[in-house]
Amino acid sequence: MMPRVYHIDVHDLVRLASLKNVDSMSEPRERIMLPTPSTSHVPYERVYEPAEDSFLFLDTLSSESEKIFLQDYFNQPREGSTSKNSSTPLVVEIGTGSGVVLSFLHAHAKNILGRPDILTAGVDVNRFACKATTETLRAAELVQDIKGWSHGFYLGNILGDLTGFLKPGQVDLLIFNPPYVPTPELPQLPHKEAKTTTTYEDDSYLLSLSYAGGLDGMETTNRLLQSLPKILSCSRGCAYILLCAQNKPEKVREQIQSWGSGWAVETAGTIGKQGGWEKLQILRIWRTH
Amino acid sequence: MKLLTLNFLTCAVKACKSSSDSFPLHPKECELVSDTIPPNPQLIQNVLPRLDWRALSTTASELGFPTLPENAPTLEELQKDEKMMAELHTLLLETSVSEGMLVCGNCGHEYRIKEGIANFLLPNHLV
């Protein structure tokens, strides 16, 4: 997929700096003005390249309806809190790849979530993806800094499998663009240190981790779904998860509805409507207090 | 990886989930990096209510930072206490771990940190 019109390359920063009088402008309010983070430094031979699923996340998270939901959800004081402000949300993306989605949220936290004081962290099973995410995030942060605009506070990226190492009940907003393609089998997770140099086979293996989803393309997504009640914050936990048509999205929704009255699920964004089926959709799953 | 991250990390081994000794993980042979970050009292004030203060105190003292008071300061106390604000700024916002290990107090598993990235992938026999 072609980069967006508002794609800004790190090399353009010098030129951007000369435009510094844009300082007097307020932070952008429309999606059309929110720049897509630059990912030109990412080694695409072994890290998933931003594609239509990634861009569906950017468009969904910055849509008017999701902004209204998120700003309301994350600006209410938490139960039992005496302060007027609610505490800082922790935003975690699982499977960051290039880091384009996490960096977008990080850079445009104020526009999307209505507050710049968010903590952001990324998780990936691919060490190269972890490194790439950190670079993408720093570049996006720099663009905001040069314009005198706000951004979140980045904790770092962790090499790991889903959420097993996160303290329960801490994640307020979780983003997951899973390996959703149905495949005869699921590749084994890496369990030793990635080498600094890779062969063609190593690269193919690392890329397969980003798309191969096993049975119905749901083997990894199901594991993540099962961990949500434990991982998401009890007072304001919310997750955005992408599904493709072969993942049987209706069954997924039914599964979440069976969790009980404390949960809700809605389709937040879709792309590629064909004969009544959306090719890709993003579900918003959240605690209703 | 920011030192603050340790407030959200626990041992990935299933058998450790029920043990209180698996949180916080203990830093071992860690190299720290300090980045200069402009003051951000609003962020510190809003992060404070969600912190596990005891875990932060443990992490701070294990890494050789000045001992934190037993209880977290209230918002009013923090706003009046410039020294505490400066200490928390250094600890929470400026300090990162670049190399070293995080050790589980229950099973003793060591998670390696390399180039600021902590490796929580488990060997096959522990998955």
φ/ψ of residue A102, rounded to 5: -60, -40
Q: Is the peptide bond before A35 cis (omega within 30 degrees of 0)?
A: no
Q: What is the pLDDT of residue A84?
A: 57
Structural contact between residues A68 and A62, judged by C-beta atoms closer than 8 angstroms: no
pLDDT tens digits, A206-236: 999 999 999 999 999 999 999 999 999 999 9
Please check whether residue A4 lies inside any domain of the structure: no
Contact A157 B117 (CB under 8 A): yes
pLDDT tens digits, A72-127: 999 976 555 555 568 999 999 999 999 999 999 999 999 999 999 999 999 999 99
Contacts of A86 in chain B (CB under 8 A): 46
ipTM of the complex: 0.97
Please give the torsion angle defined by the CA atoms of residues A214, A197, A102 and A138, in that order, rounded to the nearest 10 degrees.
Answer: 180
Residue A127 in tokens: 């060490």
Please check whether residue A9 lies inside any domain of the structure: no
Q: How far is A52 from chain B (nearest CA, A)?
A: 28
Structural contact between residues A180 and A243, judged by C-beta atoms closer than 8 angstroms: yes
User: What is the C-alpha separation between A22 and A16, in angstroms, rounded?
Assistant: 10
- Candidates 3.40.50.880, 2.20.25.10, 3.40.50.720, 3.90.870.10; CATH matching B3-11+22-110: 2.20.25.10
Q: What is the pLDDT of residue A273?
A: 78
Contacts of B40 in chain A (CB under 8 A): 153
User: What is the C-alpha separation between A53 and A256, in angstroms, rounded?
Assistant: 22
**Which is nearest to B106 in space by CA: B29, B13, B33?**
B13
Q: What is the pLDDT of residue A19?
A: 44
Judged against a pLDDT cut of 50, whether residue B20 lies above it is answered with: yes
Of A87, A119, A158, the CB nearest to B118: A158
Judged against a pLDDT cut of 80, whether residue B51 lies above it is answered with: yes
Residue type, A255: Q
User: What is the C-alpha separation between A186 and A207, in angstroms, rounded?
Assistant: 12
Q: Could you tell me which residues come within 8 angstroms of residue A46 by beta carbon, excluding any fewer than 6 positions away? A: A126, A128, A198, A202, A203, A206, A207
Through-space distance between the first and last CA atoms of chain A, rounded to whole angstroms: 39
Counting beta carbons within 10 angstroms of the beta carbon of residue A25, is it exposed (0 to 12), middle (13 to 18) or buried (19 or more)?
Answer: exposed
Interface of A with B (CB under 8 A): 78, 81, 83, 85-88, 90, 117, 119, 121, 125, 127, 130-131, 134, 153-161, 164-167, 170, 189-193
CATH no. for residue A114? 3.40.50.150
What are the boundaries of each domain within chain B? Answer: 3-11+22-110
Question: Which residues form the domain of A173?
Answer: 49-77+90-287
Q: What is the pTM of this model?
A: 0.91
Please check whether residue A31 lies inside any domain of the structure: no
Q: How far is A88 from chain B (nearest CA, A)?
A: 5
Q: What percent of chain B has pLDDT over 90?
A: 96
The pLDDT confidence band at residue B127, using thresholds 50, 70 and 90, is: confident
Contact B121 A88 (CB under 8 A): no
Q: What is the pLDDT of residue A107?
A: 98
Q: How far is B63 from chain A (nearest CA, A)?
A: 18
Structural contact between residues B107 and B13, judged by C-beta atoms closer than 8 angstroms: yes
**Which is nearest to A272 in space by CA: A250, A246, A231, A244?**
A244
User: What is the C-alpha separation between A157 and A94, in angstroms, rounded?
Assistant: 10
Is B55 in a helix, a strand, or coil?
Answer: helix
Q: What is the pLDDT of residue B58?
A: 98
Distance of CA A228 to the CA centre of its chain: 15
Please tell me the total count of domains within chain A: 1
Please check whether residue A138 lies inside any domain of the structure: yes
pLDDT tens digits, A258-286: 999 999 999 999 998 776 667 999 999 99
pLDDT, chain A, mean: 88
Contacts of A193 in chain B (CB under 8 A): 112, 114, 119
User: H/E element holding B34?
Assistant: strand B26-34
The pLDDT confidence band at residue A1, using thresholds 50, 70 and 90, is: very low
Q: How far is A216 from chain B (nearest CA, A)?
A: 23
User: What is the C-alpha separation between B74 and A262, in angstroms, rounded?
Assistant: 31
Please check whether residue A241 lies inside any domain of the structure: yes
Residue A36 in tokens: 């897509």
Of A86, A121, A159, the CB nearest to B121: A159
Of B14, B116, B124, the CB nearest to A156: B116
Nearest CA in chain A to B104: A165
Q: How far is B26 from chain A (nearest CA, A)?
A: 14
Please check whether residue A154 lies inside any domain of the structure: yes
Q: What is the pLDDT of residue A278?
A: 74
Residue labelled with tokens 């992060």 = B47
Q: What is the pLDDT of residue A76?
A: 75
Contacts of A165 in chain B (CB under 8 A): 9-12, 111, 120
Please check whether residue A20 lies inside any domain of the structure: no
The top-scoring range by mean pLDDT among A5-14, A84-93, B38-47 is B38-47
